[in-house]
Amino acid sequence: MEALLVITYCVFFSFLLYRLPYFSNIGLGKWFLVLVFLFKVGAGYLYGAFHNAYHNGGDPYLYVFYGKVIFDTFSSEPLVFLELVLGPNARPDPERICHISDGIPSWNDVRTYSMFRINALLHFFSGGYYYVHSVFFNFFCMIGLVGIYRVAKYYFPCLTYSSAIIVFCIPSVLFWGSGIHKGAICFLSMGLMLYQFHSAFIITEKSGKKWMKRFLLFALGFGILILVRPHLLLALFPAILVGWICSTWKGNTLSKFSGIYTAGIIGILLAPKLWAKADVIRILSETNWVLTQYFKGTSDVYLPTFKANFWSMMEVVPYALFNTLVRPLFNFSDWTWQQIAAAELFLMWVVVFASIWSGLSTNWLQQQSSQSAYSKQLSFRYFCLFFPISFLLMVGLTSDNMGALVRYRSLVWPFLGMAIFLPSRIAESLEQRIVKYLRS
């Protein structure tokens, strides 16, 4: 029965990817997204097998299992089900639901419990089968990736296939975005937020109905990220706003970005004097302490603790950047998943340095003839730099687990690729070769 449901939903979602204008009108062949989706479904199977082999099932299977615990209350106690799915958690258990909530771990962890909610709703369609949930998560991820691609295509209209490679085909994006985990939901949310904001404020659509739709979809992505990955939202939303502001103001784009971010850092330092709970550095320090001292894993790396002040945090920043941008390192005596991640990281850095060495592409340089268009493109490029670096810095300051760091890094690889690779002559040459091959 599980195989039949998997095939049925694969066919259904493939049909949507083939027919719906949001997916089909992106300049790629209609079958491209279908093939990427089916490849991701296969990667999702490997994802489940990987967690079975290394983590005895791990979080993905727990998400499905406890989603089923919540779902089972629907037939006998529908009001309890609605409260468990839609009501707040991280509070004292109300007596009317404590017979269920007491048996659910992470009741006080909003992020993990949100994954239980999502899987509880999917049980209406999945029959309780793990790999059916995996198919749904892959479709969610595709929605987000297509949104990111459509924005990239707006700024790099001559790089259809190079943009597709950067967004859809990076190995860690394919793998970590294909399982029943927060990665797929994060790609969904980022794609919704970025594409809807871009359509409303950069393309500036005038239709009132479209504006309302854009707002609701943006709010959906915003709300999901608040629940699932609030620190990703803390890096993404300001970067989107700054990118929009810099694209509309005249002046040096890098200076504007740097100036606004510097003002933001000053604001973060001053905020606790107005409201004690807004002490971001204290929150980072406490999270660092909890994760490094109490959560021990087999892939932990060295990360010092720091005090809740700016200069103590700055002493740890080099370790944070090293762990997120350089690790894992090669260890030829131990061929594990970390070595696969190290190989990908090495290749990505080769691409980065080669892109910088090759210089800017002809198409990119030609855009300078239009100051308005060039300002928007440059603002987008800096957005694709400032957002990943700020996010990786937050992650590196708080987490010492290599598995978590690799997963987090996969969320921002497409943006770093758009910032560094797509404007380069290498991307332009690759595009020309692909087009020539397809026409031959």
Domain ranges of the chain: 1-228, 231-440
Contact (CB, 8 A) for 280 and 271: yes
pLDDT of residue 403: 84
Residues 6+ apart with CB under 8 A from 335: none
pTM summary value: 0.93
Question: What's the CA gap between 390 and 265, in Å, rounded?
Answer: 11
* Nearest residue to 420 via CA among 329, 342, 358, 347: 358
- Largest interatomic CA distance in the chain: 70
pLDDT, greater one: 132 or 95: 132
Is the pLDDT reported for residue 425 higher than 90? Answer: no
pLDDT of residue 212: 84
Is the pLDDT reported for residue 54 higher than 80? Answer: no
Secondary structure of residue 300 in the 3-state scheme: strand
pLDDT of residue 207: 55
Average pLDDT over all residues of the chain: 87
pLDDT of residue 34: 94
Is the pLDDT reported for residue 385 higher than 80? Answer: yes
Give the pLDDT confidence of 216-228 residue by residue, as tens digits.
Answer: 999 999 999 999 9
Is the pLDDT reported for residue 370 higher than 60? Answer: no
pLDDT of residue 276: 76
pLDDT of residue 108: 84
Q: What band does 373 get if pLDDT is binned at 50, 70 and 90?
A: low
Q: What percent of the chain lies above the pLDDT cut of 90?
A: 45
Residues 6+ apart with CB under 8 A from 127: 1, 2, 5
* The token pair that represents 210 in the structure block: 């479209």
pLDDT of residue 329: 82
pLDDT, greater one: 125 or 279: 125
**Range of lowest pLDDT (3-17, 28-42, 272-286):** 272-286
Question: What's the CA gap between 112 and 136, in Å, rounded?
Answer: 18
Mean local confidence (pLDDT), 274-293: 86
Give the pLDDT confidence of 64-93 residue by residue, as tens digits.
Answer: 999 999 999 998 888 989 989 998 887 777
Is the pLDDT reported for residue 368 higher than 60? Answer: no
Mean local confidence (pLDDT), 394-420: 92
Is the pLDDT reported for residue 205 higher than 60? Answer: no
**Range of lowest pLDDT (45-49, 58-62, 360-364, 392-396):** 360-364
**Range of lowest pLDDT (33-37, 234-238, 364-368):** 364-368
**Range of lowest pLDDT (166-175, 182-191, 366-375, 415-424):** 366-375
**Range of lowest pLDDT (57-61, 316-320, 333-337, 343-347):** 333-337
pLDDT of residue 372: 62
Mean local confidence (pLDDT), 348-355: 90
* The token pair that represents 355 in the structure block: 């892109």
Question: What's the CA gap between 182 and 115, in Å, rounded?
Answer: 7
Q: What band does 252 get if pLDDT is binned at 50, 70 and 90?
A: confident
Is the pLDDT reported for residue 179 higher than 80? Answer: yes
pLDDT, greater one: 175 or 337: 175
Residues 6+ apart with CB under 8 A from 75: none
